[in-house]
Structure 1
Amino acid sequence: MFNDINNFFYRNIVVRYKEYQDHRDKMEFGNYNHTVVALELAETLFHFREQLDGQIRPSWKQVYSVCPDYRLITNAANAFKHGQLDHPDAIGLPLISKSAQIVEMTVSTFFTDESGEYSNNEKAIYANCTDGIERNFDQALANVMNYWLQFMRDIGEKDFGVRVVPDEPGSVILLGKKQVLGWI
């Protein structure tokens, strides 16, 4: 269908990432829309490597060595597609063995200053990984997206820019001061 890697990348990666960003940045909570769009993006980012010509296609381990978050989104995409992963990947036991380990959360951060108390609500997706570490899935998606954007530049294709890695929820600074009073 696509005879041009730039066209394929734009239509299947850049456009889908923008859709994901729109869902991520909306102040709509619940219904798992953010999670579903994020997992669909993870599938796209994972499978992009397979669309590359064999002469320029990096191996899975080559991508992972430069971008360790590639493993997380790969495991999440496969768990989303297959329901459960019960076999090791190229590194070992998968970080995600079932899609239920991907959790959309609302994080409320409370700030105080001389004028009073303020709150800020954000949503984020976390991966409750099998190694016991909770990872920010939104940051992982941005890191993998930036890996592929850099890859496209490195092979002499179109420069689609870079994407900002989202801040950790609760790191909002209000008037240069921050005091986190609690997480909900």
Structure 2
Amino acid sequence: MFDDLTTYYHENVVSTYMDYRDIKRSGTAGRSRDIRNAIIAASALFHLREHLPRPNQPTRAATEKLCPEYGLLGDIVNAAKHKSISRNTPHGTPLLADATQIDERIVLTEYLDEKGPYRFAEKTVIAKLSDGSERDLFEILTVVMNYWENFLYSLGILPSLRIFPNDSNKHPRTRKEWEENRLDFEIVKGHRFHQSMRLQRFNYQTETIEPIDLTGSQVKFNIYKPAYEINLSLTHDASGKEFKKTITLSDDESETVAHCKTDEDRQAYINSLPCAHEALRQLAIEAGVVNDSADTLNISNKEGT
């Protein structure tokens, strides 16, 4: 990898950027996976300059003049590596001085349509700058990524130019996106759990995102093991009488149901469970059913607590 600049760029810089982008889009938060992979990508982007051939290797100061985000990226990388930094940089005092100023955050944005409000959840890694402002690390990475893409293309190292889009969408998320949106937490027993969250609302008049004021509010966060109950019903067509039975899924079965992405997947899995079939058989016996073709079997599920 280190013997060829083009290979190094694609296999170390672009790949780590794409890895973090994919993790950012994933539906699982926790165990510092986002901040860890964001820093790996940031380090690769920041140190790419040192792998450029000498005649074309710009100084950090020159790079910062052309791409100010490169300077901020350097402060983030060095703070993450050394815990804290204090030495002056080409842009002066570090914009971020301590690794604790880099944080993972869950952002919940409230939208509104004709059916009512809905909230879209997404993950971000935030750099809290010393002046009190905040920057989305993926936005910084994308700006620097596009800068290096242009730089290497101008040198003829890359045969074509790509533009990497910023994933931090500020356009209104649709209800369909919300319905497909799911965010799970992964927590290890015995390890500390730290997670910051931001509640915000999309203003359709100004087409901007505004923070939700939580002054005087009490926020509760519940963590529980998934537990599902299945309500089974059998309706005897001749008499119209309905027979019902409820079964509780095991931990493993509940876990599988919890990870199903669609209602169709959940229903198909539930229909395949031996315990569901046995419960239906018991209902049929209770109802005195002789000819199954004359009956209607319905399986529905609801989440238990």
TM-score in terms of structure 2 length:
0.56
Q: Distance in 1 between matches of 2:211 and 2:62?
A: 40
- Residue matched to 2:168: 167
Instruction: Give distance in 2, aligned partners of 1:17 and 1:133.
Output: 24
Percent identity reads 29
Which AA in structure 1 matches 2:71?
A: R
The one-letter code of the counterpart of 2:51 is: Q
- Contact conserved, 2:106 with 2:124, CA < 8 A, in 1? yes
Name 2:19's counterpart in structure 1. Answer: 19
> Structure 1 pair 181/11, CA: closer, same or farther in 2 (3 Å)?
closer
Contact 2:108 2:119 in 1 (8 A): yes
The amino acid that maps onto 2:42 is A
Q: CA deviation at 1:103?
A: 1.2
Rounded Cα–Cα distance in structure 2 between residues aligned with 1:160 and 1:98: 35
C-alpha deviation, 1:99, in angstroms = 1.2
Residues 163, 144 of structure 1: CA spacing in aligned structure 2 closer, same or farther, 3 A cutoff? same
What residue in structure 1 maps to residue 248 of structure 2?
Answer: none
Does the C-alpha gap of structure 1 residues 182 and 72 become closer, same or farther in structure 2, counting only changes over 3 Å? closer
SS in 1 for 2:110: strand
Secondary structure (helix, strand or coil) at the match of 1:89 reads: coil
- RMSD between aligned residues: 2.0
1:58 counterpart residue number? 58
| More strand by percentage | 2
State the SS of the aligned residue for 2:29.
coil
Q: CA deviation at 1:161?
A: 1.7
Q: Say if 1:182 and 1:90 are closer, same or farther in 2 by CA, change over 3 A.
A: closer
Residues 102, 125 of structure 2: 8 Å contact kept: yes
SS for the counterpart of 1:37 is helix
Counterpart-to-counterpart distance in 1, 2:139 and 2:210: 24
CA apart distance, 1:100: 0.9
Mark the CA change 1:7 to 1:91 in structure 2 (over 3 Å): closer, same or farther: same
Deviation at 1:20, TM superposition (A): 1.0
2:141 & 2:89 partners in 1: Cα distance? 19
TM-score by length of 1: 0.90
Match of 1:37 in 2: 37
Task: Show the 5 A alignment for 1:1-184.
Answer: 2-158=2-158, 159=160, 161-168=162-169, 171-174=171-174, 179=203, 183=212
For the structure 1 residues 68 and 77, does the alpha-carbon distance in structure 2 shift closer, same or farther, using more than 3 Å as the test?
Answer: same
Separation (CA, whole Å) in 1 of partners of 2:148 and 2:136: 19
How many pairs align?
Answer: 181
Q: 1:126 to 1:11 in 2, by over 3 A?
A: same
Contact 1:110-1:182 at 8 Å conserved across structures: no
The list of structure 1 runs, each at least 4 consecutive aligned residues, that deviate by more than 6 angstroms after superposition, is: none
Contact 1:69 1:140 in 2 (8 A): yes
Query: 1:21-67, CA deviations, whole angstroms, 9 ceiling, x for partnerless residues?
Result: 11111121222211111011111111110011110011112211121
- CA distance in 2 between counterparts of 1:132 and 1:145 reads 25
Choose between structure 1 and 2 for higher RCO, CA contacts under 8 A separated by at least 6 residues: 1
Q: Contact 1:108–1:182 at 8 Å: present in 2 too?
A: no
Amino acid at match of 1:126: I
The CA deviation string for residues 57-114 of structure 1, in whole angstroms up to 9 with x for no partner, is 1111221112111111100101111111021111111011111101111111111222
Query: 2:120 touches 2:173 (CA, 8 Å); kept in 1?
Result: no
